[in-house]
A and B are shown apart, each in its own frame.
Chain A
Amino acid sequence: MTTASEVLSSLQSAFPGAIKDPRVESDARLWATVDPKRIYDVCKYLTDKLNFDHYSGSAGVDWIANNEMEVVEIMASHGAHPVVAMLKVRTPRDNPSIKSLTGLYWNADWYEREIWEMFGINFENHSGLYPLLLSDELMGVWPWRKDFKGYPDLTTGQRAVALPTANGYTEFRIPPTPAEIEAGTVPKERPKYPSFREREEAEIKSDSEMIMHLGPQHAMVPGPFLLDILVEGERVRKGFLDVGYIHKGIEKIMENRTWLQGITYTDRMCYVASLSNNECYCGAVEKILGLEVPERAQYIRVIVEELSRIQSHLIGTGEFLTLIAGVGYAPWQYMIIDREHVISLIESVTGARLTHSFVRFGGVRNDLPDDFAEKCKITLPYIKSRINEFIELFAQDPIYDLRMKDVGVLPAETAKEVGIAGPALRASGVSYDMRVEDPILVYPDLDFKVITGTKGDCADRIDVRLREILESIYIIEQCLDRIPSGPIKPEAKVPKKVPAGEAYYRVEDPRGEMGMYVISDGGDKPYRVKVRGPFYATLQTLPPLLEGVYVADVVAIAGSMDGCPSEADR
């Protein structure tokens, strides 16, 4: 088994002088600063020689005091070893520019575009630096830089102005006010690029092709995103994605809230799985603080997170079945009725239906209610029987088979390469689960299987999700048997100020691998919080998956990913 120190010594011998300030935090975490000129070669070496085949994302950090910008490349492996290498590249703040990794990793595209639009860091050799999350009017203000003047917002009380366009539509835009211009939030020069509409229309090559818009308003996906498909007859030739319709700037807001207040924002990042988001943020902060979580609190966290996974998979499957059934709401109603049972269980512990803010630094907010185990003994077998019923139902239905089998097939190799996450990855046969790869809490003591599919088609994805619910129920049953009595919070009071440091913490969200990179500068607020969301990674892989499929299958493929655009947009 490769460990972090082995990776470091291998890197140092291959690139003498290029690796600075290395820090081996544990067997699974390696921090290092890499020479900006060598970052491409270092990443290539890691991928080719040391099995780092999973480019997990990148984060931008603005070190305004040092007059430097930093890009942190997060490198991991699809199950070969548990090491996560955090490679930092520094560039001067005046004209920030580093080498793009899009030549090595297909999925670096979106991460780099996001850093470009938020920080203004240029990526050399990147083929399409277009805005991803921000609207055109916010381009060039670089909102995540520390000296961004538009925070708090100055747009309060303004009205949007209706602007008639040449093609007969009306656009609504918020023009800058004199106050904003005076404050300097309006950039003097904006980057030049073709707009989203122009880019997709440039792809139309013949008269037989046309563009179909799916969205941004979707009836059965919990958030808006725009999926445009270029169709030729019945076949899709190319897909285009436009996200950012509910971009709230959570990462920027969290920099301006205290550590504890940040928990409430993680709830609202992905509201279908807010407990795993809580866990991810609190775990990262606990790592910096060096806090030990009491055992009872660990069990309570596992129980509520697995319950959260059950309800998330139920709503995801229900949404998907409604999408493919067209007008039929029947499967949706079944799933929602079952989900209400789970929600009432979670509610009895956390006191809220969706936004819990339940996990705290070093523990949980409150203990399980007295009759929780009895309630579970009634609800869980019921859910189990229902899920078995659903699995049987789908296995028997010939129409479902025709619609789902061999649709949107994603082979294991491609799935790894494009960096898709969660059940969609496991459906392709890759056994990659954060609960096993990067174990947290009491997961190492628990007995559970990582559910994998075989082919990676739509039917497999749904099947994996449903069987994961059964596995979650099994985990909860074990936890309820083993849960010890004891404290649920650390004995000493958690300090308001977190010592300077940084941590990267990964959890298995219902949608896949979720990571949070938290930096503290010793103050009462985080210096930077970077969220590596699983649906962000999954959403990026949609356009290549859609190429060449029938129009009717587009909804089936997109729906089988179990979308939560809010978490992609943050």
Chain B
Amino acid sequence: MGISDVIPVPVAIDEELEKWTIFGQPVADVWFTTTEKIHQIIEMGPIKNIFNWGRKNSVYFLMQPMGCCGVEMFVFGAAPYDSDRFGCIPRNTPRQTDVMIMSGYITRKYLPVFKNLWEQMPEPKWCIAIGECAISGGPFYDSYNIIQNTADYFPIDVFIPGCPPRPEQFLEGLMQLQEKIKQRKDKRGYY
């Protein structure tokens, strides 16, 4: 498709424009293209670094306490430890969040709910597993109702061990996630 098909321009200009390129692609392809194409082009250019910088500094997390670590998550999000300093604000609905903090045991009954919450979150999204229970079942590893292999269900980027970990460890884990996003080494692989 040439530019003259869309905008009434002289054919000579059209031919001239077809020779132009942007990031190695014909300009015409870039101008009249889909969101997917734009994403591909962003991926190729240095603008991706700006995107990632923005993403890494606004990782809102879902306030969704599920266990002991959930109480530490309260404190992590509140004034004493102030996750806001890192652009990490607690939100109450999955529709507004970027990070799912898996803050406790996942039971057979809660797994479908949790999976639903995860799917309601808009892309790009990341997952942090906090505490022994979320990582491997922890002290409840042999219970009949606890899911152990959470990493099979969710692409977990950062594991924070502890029972429960202190809020400082939450901050450290958050910074690790930001570093991963910056270096494009996160599991989902956004840019």
- CB A489 to nearest CB in B, in angstroms, measures 25
Interface of A is mostly: loop
Q: Which residue of A lies closest to B142 (CB)?
A: A152
Within 8 A of A (CB), among B153-171: 153, 163-164, 166
Which of B34-42, B49-57, B109-117, B175-183 contacts the other chain? Answer: B109-117
Nearest CB in chain A: distance from B167 CB, A: 8
Interface residue SS majority, chain B: loop
Residues of B43-97 at the interface with A, using a CB-CB cut-off of 8 Å, are 63-68, 70-72, 74-75, 78-80, 90, 92, 94
Question: Is B20's CB within 8 Å of the partner chain A?
Answer: no
Question: CA separation between A353 and B76, bound complex, in Å?
Answer: 13
Contact A137 B108 (CB under 8 A): yes
Q: Cβ of B104 < 8 Å from any Cβ of A?
A: yes
CB distance from B119 to the nearest CB of A (A): 8
- With both chains docked as a complex, state the minimum distance between the C-beta of B169 and any C-beta of chain A, in angstroms: 11
Is A22 at the interface (CB under 8 A from chain B)? no
* Contact count A vs B, C-beta below 8 Å: 147
- A209-230 contacts to B, CB under 8 A, are 216-224
A349 in contact (CB, < 8 A): no
The total of chain B residues at the interface (CB under 8 A) is: 44
> C-beta contact mask, A130-166 vs B, less than 8 Å → 1, else 0?
0000110110010100001011110111111000000
Give the one of A138, A158, A219, A256 with max B CB within 10 A. Answer: A219
CB–CB A271/B142 < 8 A? no
Q: Is the CB of B146 within 8 A of A248?
A: yes
Answer whether residue A104 sits at the interface, using C-beta atoms and an 8 A cutoff. Answer: no
Cβ contact within 8 Å between A248 and B145: yes
Q: Whole-angstrom distance between the alpha carbons of A340 and B81 in the complex?
A: 10
Measured between alpha carbons, how far is A250 from B146 in the docked complex, in Å?
A: 11
Most buried by A among B67, B152, B166: B67
Question: Which listed segment binds B: A30-38, A329-337, A398-406?
Answer: A329-337
When distances are taken between beta carbons in the complex, the residues of chain B under 8 Å from A134 are 109, 145
Please, how many angstroms separate the alpha-carbon atoms of A152 and B144 in the complex?
7
Query: Which of A141, A247, A252, A355 is close to B68, meaning CB atoms less than 8 Å apart?
Result: A355
Query: For chain A, which range describes its interface: under 10, 10 to 19, 20 to 34, or 35 or more residues?
Result: 35 or more
A268 touches B110 (CB 8 A): no
What chain A residues lie within 8 Å of B66 (beta carbons)? 223-224, 246
Q: Could you tell me if B64 and A219 are in contact, using CB atoms closer than 8 angstroms?
A: yes
Give the residues in chain B near A337, CB-CB below 8 Å. Answer: 78-80
When the two chains form their complex, are residues B78 and A155 in contact, meaning their CB atoms are under 8 A apart?
no
Q: Which residues of B contact A153 (CB under 8 A)?
A: 141-144, 146, 148
Would B145 and A216 count as touching, CB distance under 8 A?
no
Residues A223 and B65 in contact, CB atoms below 8 Å apart: yes
Residue B101 at the A interface, CB < 8 A? no
Could you tell me if B63 and A143 are in contact, using CB atoms closer than 8 angstroms? no
A217-B117, A219-B64, A222-B70 given; A336·B109 CB < 8 A: no
Does chain B have a CB within 8 A of A83? Answer: no
| Cβ B153 vs Cβ A217 within 8 A | no
Known: A246-B66, A337-B80. A353 touches B144 (CB 8 A): no
Given contacts A247-B107, A247-B109, A248-B107, contact A354 B143 (CB under 8 A): no
* 19 residue pairs from A and B, CB less than 8 Å apart: A152-B142, A153-B142, A159-B152, A216-B113, A217-B113, A244-B109, A248-B140, A249-B143, A252-B143, A271-B68, A272-B71, A336-B74, A337-B80, A353-B72, A354-B68, A354-B71, A354-B164, A566-B67, A566-B68
Which of A's residues lie within 8 Å of B, judged by CB?
134-135, 137-138, 141, 143, 148, 150-153, 155-160, 171-174, 216-224, 244-250, 252-253, 256, 264-265, 267-268, 271-272, 315, 329, 332-333, 336-337, 339-340, 353-355, 566
The residues of B with any CB-CB pair to A shorter than 8 Å are 63-68, 70-72, 74-75, 78-80, 90, 92, 94, 104-105, 107-113, 115, 117, 139-149, 152-153, 163-164, 166
